[in-house]
Structure 1
Amino acid sequence: MTVARSERLLVLLQVMRRYRQPVSGATLAAETGVSLRTLYRDIASLQAQGALIEGEAGLGYILKPGFMLPPMMFSQEEIEALVLGSRWVAKMADPILAAGAVDALQKIAAVLPVELSEEIDNSTLLVAAPRNREDRSDLAMIRKAIRAEHMLDLAYRDEKGALTERRVWPFALGFFDSVRVMIGWCELRQGFRHFRTDRIVSAVSTGKRYPRRRPALLKEWRRSEGISAPG
């Protein structure tokens, strides 16, 4: 398979992922800039590689979730994005998440073709060391609580030094150059609140699920903050 064809198949996959309903071959051919005959050959190639593409000519096609891209199909820009993202996490996140970023990048490099693996080692995209503030809380535990949708009991010190006890429904963590912020619904304040992790004196998981789903809380918070969902 030539590089040009690999890139073309990657584009086709990316286009198909945008559709939740069957889409015609003519539409796919127009969006990927190929002839209908070439489009049919490309779909057959992807199906042979394991892509779960259902449908047929005249009826439309749909890509089912679960297909993993062969390593050769990463573009150079995608490799650079993976390297930069992994390096950022390794510098900015807590030690457990940082180690995960390093391990993930090593696993990716191990299965890449030699020329792409060398791009990882030789990447000139660098991340500066952060101006860290010490976290008293266990970020790994907070991430686990977010995934499990468990309530947290916090002892939190605000910018004026006042200490309060809160029960919070955590649903997101924000990572910035100098601080990290846990976002959650605060039962005490009856609203969304942002808690700097360096001001969390203690955080204890209750082991109990909060009454709403995390995606719903995230969507409502984004709407309240005027933030668009990532595209």
Structure 2
Amino acid sequence: MCGRFAITESWTEILKYYGIVESNYAFPSKYNIAPSTLIPGIITGTKGERRVGPFRWGLEPRAWNSAGPKPINARSEGLRQNRVFRNLVERRRALIPATGYFEWRKNDKQPFYIRVKSRPIFSFAGFYDTWVNDNGEKVNTCTIITVAPGSNIRLKSIHNRMPAILRGHQDERFWLDRSVTNIDDLLPIIEPFPEDDMIWFPVSKIVGNVINDSPECVQRIDR
């Protein structure tokens, strides 16, 4: 799964990476982003422009009872079968910016910080819903798609799931393309990210407490 991640680059660099020239929304550097918090999501507007805004991490689809689960992750293998997920993937996709994410090794609960070697900013493939509740409040929520590690043997030794990381700007453009509305066209780019373009290292167990949000969370430690 993907239950914690970080955005350590400046907001200026994030906007530059996604080609967003103007935005009234800003997000500070965060070193320990946890579920249920507001996170930035990049979507495509009705005129084809890229827009960025806050989404609560934990999907609350309009089609579900608000008292139901709010999944922070959606398994890629189940997207076709889940009617609500499929509809949102085909109509409401988002990029979730990140600079790295955390996983805990099962046998000793050691946290690892995992990032992409070739670029400091990358995108999780996600999807969202937005609607207005009975109190007139706008509900913006999202989830991050996960995949099996596949041939990533060393990563598999840490965890049996990983977030769906898009491979670059071409896949990011395709994911946000509103003209693509068939899930069968979209799923081929949702695959395990190549292990040879990833780096991971152990970090302090302070990241286990959501109160801790400092550069120490993403610093390598000696074991």
Q: Could you tell me the TM-score, scaled by structure 1's length?
A: 0.24
Higher relative contact order, structure no. (Cα contacts within 8 Å, ≥ 6 residues apart): 2
- Bigger Cα Rg: 1
- Bigger proportion of residues as helix: 1
Q: Could you tell me the TM-score, scaled by structure 2's length?
A: 0.24
